[in-house]
Each structure stands twice: as C-alpha cells, then as structure tokens.
Chains A and B, each alone.
Chain A
Amino acid sequence: MPAIDVKQLSKSFKTQRKEAGLWGSVKGLIWRESFYKEAVKSVSFSLEEGELVGFLGPNGAGKTTLLKMLSGILYPTAGEVKVLGYTPWERNREYQRQFAIVMGQKNQLWWDLPPAESFLLNRDIYGVDPKAFERNIDEMVSLLDLKDLLDVPVRQLSLGQRMKCELVAALLHQPRVLFLDEPTIGLDVISQEKIRSFIQEYNRLKKTTVLLTSHYMQDVEQLCKRVLVINHGQIVYDGLLDDLSKRYVDHKVIKIRFVEAQSATPPPGLEGVVEWDAHHAVLKVKQKEVAATTHRLLGELPIEDLSVEKVEVEEVIRRIFEEKPGIEPG
C-alpha cells in the first residue's frame, strides 16, 4: 500500500470580480460577478513509505493547495486521496497523530514564550509519552544545534532558529508522513544547508515519508531523487530528477581549456560551437554525439582540461514552465 495515494484530485476556488471606478463600486454593493479558478486540476500520483519527493513549480502552480488538501486543511472539489489509508479532510484523530505539516511562512510557536513551552504543549496535544518526548527532543536538538535556544522567547530568535524550532515542534510525535512547504524560504545559506541536511538525516533515520516544496533548486537537488513538477495545477512530470534532464534536454555542454594559445577559429566541420577563442571553448553537443566529439577534440587539439557538464536543473525547470499547459513535453 502506498503511503500517499492521490487520484484525480481537483480544487477550484470561488473568487469575485469587481469593476473599477465609482459606478462599479455602487454596482458591487448589490451584485458581484463570481467565477471559479481551478487551482488543482485532476492530479494523480502516489508515494511509497519512506520516499522523499520534491514538488517543483512556479508560484501559484498549486503546490501549497495540494499539500493543504493532503493535510485536511482544504476540502477538494473532486477526487480521492488516501494518506496512510486515511482520507485527510475527514480529519481523523489517528491520522492527525501520524502526519505533520510545516509551512515556512507560518508560525505555530507561542510568540512570547520560549520554544520549550510550545514543545510541551504539543506533547500534550499529540499525547506523546513523556519518555519518548525527552528522547525525541534530545535527538533533534543535537541534530539541529538548538541547545542554548530552548529557553529564549521565540520573538527573540532569528528566522533560521525559529524554523528549526518549528521543525522540532512538528516532529515531536514522530509523524510517519511529513509535508514541508517552503521550509527554507527567506533563510540565510547556512541555515538552509543545516535544515536540508537535517531533513535528509531525519528521513534516512526514521524512514519518514516526506513531500517537500521549495523555491530553491538546491533543496530539491540535494534531497530528492524523485520529483513531481506541477504547473497550472497539473502534474507535467513525475519521475527521477536525473531523468528529467534527459527527457527535456538532449544535449550536454563541453568546456575545454587549451594548453597554449590556438587559432581563434574552430577546426572545420566541428558542430555546436558556442564560444571559441585562443584559450577557451564551449560546445553544446547532442547527447549521442558527446563521445565522438570528445574523442575528436582530444585527438586534434592540445587540451589541458576538458569537462562534460549536464545542463543545470534550474534551466530544465525553466524550460518546462515556459511550455504551454496541457502540451505533452518530450
């Protein structure tokens, strides 16, 4: 049984339009035109227990809406979801004790009290056994380096420290499923790195199923083997991150540095030259011609250094999002 199973999930929001100007406002007094905006359109996917999967997509693509439906915060317009066998929006207590959601932009800690107090309250809410509670806290505090911060009022913590505490508060009950919505948003590079490695370590140790959204490509590149790419409310890619580049990008980049100055024009018949000067060259070569081209270059030229690089994932994603919705990429 998959840990998360989503079938044909859709969600539309009702919004209202208001005409500009004074007359529009007077009219709005009585009647406003409302229409539906589809945030999520018939999405299906599933996750096995213990998987760590990344959700990629631009702002407003529907990532957060999806996570909120999986958490039972929002009711769907149509479709079916089972997480650990439960339908989230029934908000079964047993389900709620087995998952957690952390949103980078929201705060559930008590603002004026030290984080330790919020942890205690969560212990009571989730009914965590006191011994297990102590053990969990110790473990996470050392993983996250929080020792000296537990008794400082939350309002005095930095954003990064606060986020770490949010994570601890959410993981106290050892959820089997964890949803992370932009956990590193607005954080400095060091805090981002710390939180990334914590998530990785936690997933490795506890086999917690993690579904993560992030603006930062690095988060996803470091943490997730598998990604779901969502755009305009639809999943446009579901598979390995590595395959994503293979599927969308059929070329690699060859960079070379010469031992000594060369003629500033490339040898005849060499294809895919992007840059070429006396000391450097950059070529963009089709996947299947990489071997042959490399061979030829090494044979013909005095090369000091040669590297074959794949196109950055960020670049790949950008390409996907530039495509129109609904068109099958390939």
Chain B
Amino acid sequence: MQKYWTVFRVNWQNALQYRGPTFISILGNLLHISVLLYLWNAIYRSGQHLGSYSLSDLITYYILQLMINSMVLSYISWDIVDEIREGTFSNFLVKPLNYLYYWFTINLSGKLFEGLMVLIVGLVMSFILIAHVSLPSQGITLLRFALALVLGGLLAFEFDFAIGILAFWLVKVNSFKYMLQYGMFFLAGALLPLDLFPAQFQAVANALPFRFLVFFPIQIFLEKEPAPMAGFITAGLWVIVLYIILRFGLQRGIKRYEAAGH
C-alpha cells in the first residue's frame, strides 16, 4: 500500500510541475463547451428545441460534461502505448509493482488534481450562467451523483487501460486508439445526450457500458434517470467484469511482450 501512496504523491508533484499545460487543456475543452452552448442557445432562441430538454438542462448538461471530462475520463493510454512501444515497459517487469494498480494510482492522482482545477472553472462558469443552471431538488441526488462519478471514473480507467495495452498486440495503435476513444466518448454522451439519438441507436447505446461515463451521472444530476439503483448495479458489475478481463489480458500481454524479447 505504502508504495502506491508514494506513486500517488510523486505523480501529484509531477502534475504540479505541469499545472500550466493542464490548465490550458481545460481551457481548450471549455472552448468547445462554450461553442456548444452558443449552438443550443441559437436553436432555442429560434423557437426550436431538442427532445425533452430545456435550455437550462442542456447548459447544465455541458457544464457537467466539462467537469466529468477532467474528473472522470481517463487519458493514460497515451503513456501506456508509449511505454510498451519504446520498451520502457521492461522497467516494470523487474519492479515489485502491479502495472494495473500502478496506472490506477497515477490516473487517480491525476484526475483528483485536474478535478480540483476544473472545479474552479466549473464553479465560475455556473456562477456566470447561474440563471440557466438546473440544480437538483433533493440532497440525495448529490450523493447519487458522487457515486455515479466514482463508478464512471473506474469504468473510464478500465476502458482506457484496455485500449493502452492493445499496444502489446498492435504495432501502430495510435490512430486506432484515437478512433476507439472518439467513438467511446460519443457513445458515452459526451457530445450529445443519448436520449436525443434515434430510438434504435439509443437502444444500442443503452445496452453498452459507455453511457456510465458521462450520460448516466448527468442524468442523475438532472434527476431524469428513471432507475438509478439498477444503473448502479449494472455499472458495478461492469467494473468487476472488466477488472477480471484486464488482469487476464495484462498477463497475456506481458507473456507476449517477453516472448518478443525487448
């Protein structure tokens, strides 16, 4: 346990060194969100609307998306791919560290750090748009929201780690990875709320676990989720199943890596 705590602290220090770049990347996402808010605003001003959403709901949706992008969504696969491809992964084989737990710790500390920063941005933004923010009506909603964020963060990490260790099998994984990530975020509801999708498409997206990353937590916050409990259980099961798959996959990957003789 102690060693992972140290990893956590060291990565936190490292994140501090790069707080400028982190802030800049939050600003980049903020830029995107602002444009989408203008887009919805233009649509609602012209008397049209999207599904059952009010403009306030949509604005809240995207402010929450901004925060979830920094607090929940994981981007460690870039580094994992680099390590495996460049052979620095070998350093881990000789260390008494579990690669999965190691990256989980790195991701956790990174997400907490970025989360703190984005919280400030999100609060400022909510303050400016206070008249257009839909706040939950009950206190329990916030608790549920927090739980959904934790489950989403776990799943996001597991998916991202899975994409990362694809590099054991695929030589040039980067562009492929890019597509997977983009597709995954789309199906998570990062670009558009899933309930605006056509019915068949919605059925597919609902059956997939990606919705737990973005859409599900936001629906909870907006108190639009019909069955939060069922969602929690499904998400929890996915976390466990993926964990088992990842442990197995990592073992196979390492065997393959060693066989290739790096």
Contacts and interface: CB of A to CB of B under 8 A. Distances in A.
Interface in B8-24: 9, 12-13, 16, 19
Interface in B94-117: none
A28 B17 CA distance: 8
A107 interface: no
A25 interface: yes
Nearest to A27: B16
A22 interface: yes
A22 B16 CA distance: 10
A121 to B, nearest CB: 25
Nearest to A26: B16
A292 interface: no
A19 to B, nearest CB: 11
Contacts of B12: 22, 25
Contacts of A125: none
Interface size class of B (residues with CB under 8 A): under 10
A16 to B, nearest CB: 10
A205 interface: no
Interface string B1-38: 00000000100110010010000000000000000000
Interface string A1-29: 00000000000000000000010010011
B9, B12, B16, B19 — most chain A CB neighbours (10 Å) = B16
Contacts of B13: 25
Contacts of B19: 29
Contacts of A28: 16
Nearest to B13: A25
Contacts of A29: 16, 19
Interface in A15-53: 22, 25, 28-29
Nearest to A20: B13
Interface string A55-72: 000000000000000000
A265 B12 CA distance: 69
A22 B19 CA distance: 15
A11 to B, nearest CB: 25
A28 B113 CA distance: 14
8 contacts: A22-B9, A22-B12, A25-B12, A25-B13, A25-B16, A28-B16, A29-B16, A29-B19
Interface of A: 22, 25, 28-29
Interface of B: 9, 12-13, 16, 19
Given A25-B13, A28-B16, 6 more contacts: A22-B9, A22-B12, A25-B12, A25-B16, A29-B16, A29-B19
